């Protein structure tokens, strides 16, 4: 990927928004993303899921319900909501597409937004932000060339 087209300030700000209140890992994450973009022929959204820990962003096959829920469990654990949020979730079926809006609704009650990007490979890239950051995050995603949807545009 041509790193010259990615504004480093936008990428750092994006990583800061995913970090919530712990930005200590952002410089290292930025360097890892930058290195991968320079050395690998992978799009930014895939590099992010390779570099960032699963509790910040993960990639999941659209049929992998257990993988989706494992990633959600990691995210809820990071923000201290594992017991509360996960206990609220009861699914009618085990389809990722059906679960996403329900999980997002549960996150919204805690001031969080679950984002998802569709890929061309029957996968989703999922990440979590504070709802207060939705507007700046949406703008950053557009600047970085990442197309993602927040709660109101789930399916």
Does the structure show a pLDDT above 80 at 34?
Answer: yes
Can you give the pLDDT at residue 69? Answer: 92
Can you give the pLDDT at residue 149? Answer: 56
Q: pLDDT digit string (tens) for 70-96? A: 999 999 999 988 777 777 788 878 888
Does the structure show a pLDDT above 90 at 148?
Answer: no
More confident residue, 120 or 73: 73
Q: pLDDT digit string (tens) for 2-14? A: 565 788 999 999 9
Can you give the pLDDT at residue 145? Answer: 85
At 108, list the tokens.
Answer: 């919204």
pLDDT confidence tier of residue 30, bands split at 50, 70 and 90? very high
Can you give the pLDDT at residue 118? Answer: 82
More confident residue, 28 or 155: 28
């Amino acid at each position: 990927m041509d790193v010259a087209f990615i504004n480093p300030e936008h990428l750092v700000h994006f990583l800061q928004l995913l970090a919530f209140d712990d930005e200590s890992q952002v410089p290292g994450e930025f360097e890892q993303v930058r290195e991968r973009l320079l050395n690998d022929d992978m799009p930014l959204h895939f590099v992010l899921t390779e570099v960032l820990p699963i509790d910040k962003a993960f990639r999941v096959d659209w049929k992998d319900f257990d993988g989706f829920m494992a990633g959600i469990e990691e995210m809820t654990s990071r923000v201290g909501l594992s017991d509360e949020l996960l206990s609220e979730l009861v699914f009618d079926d085990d389809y990722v597409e059906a679960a996403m809006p329900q999980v997002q609704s549960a996150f919204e009650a805690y001031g969080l937004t679950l984002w998802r990007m569709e890929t061309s490979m029957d996968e989703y890239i999922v990440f979590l932000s504070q709802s207060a950051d939705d507007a700046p995050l949406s703008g950053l995603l557009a600047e970085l060339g990442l197309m993602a949807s927040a709660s109101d545009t789930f399916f």
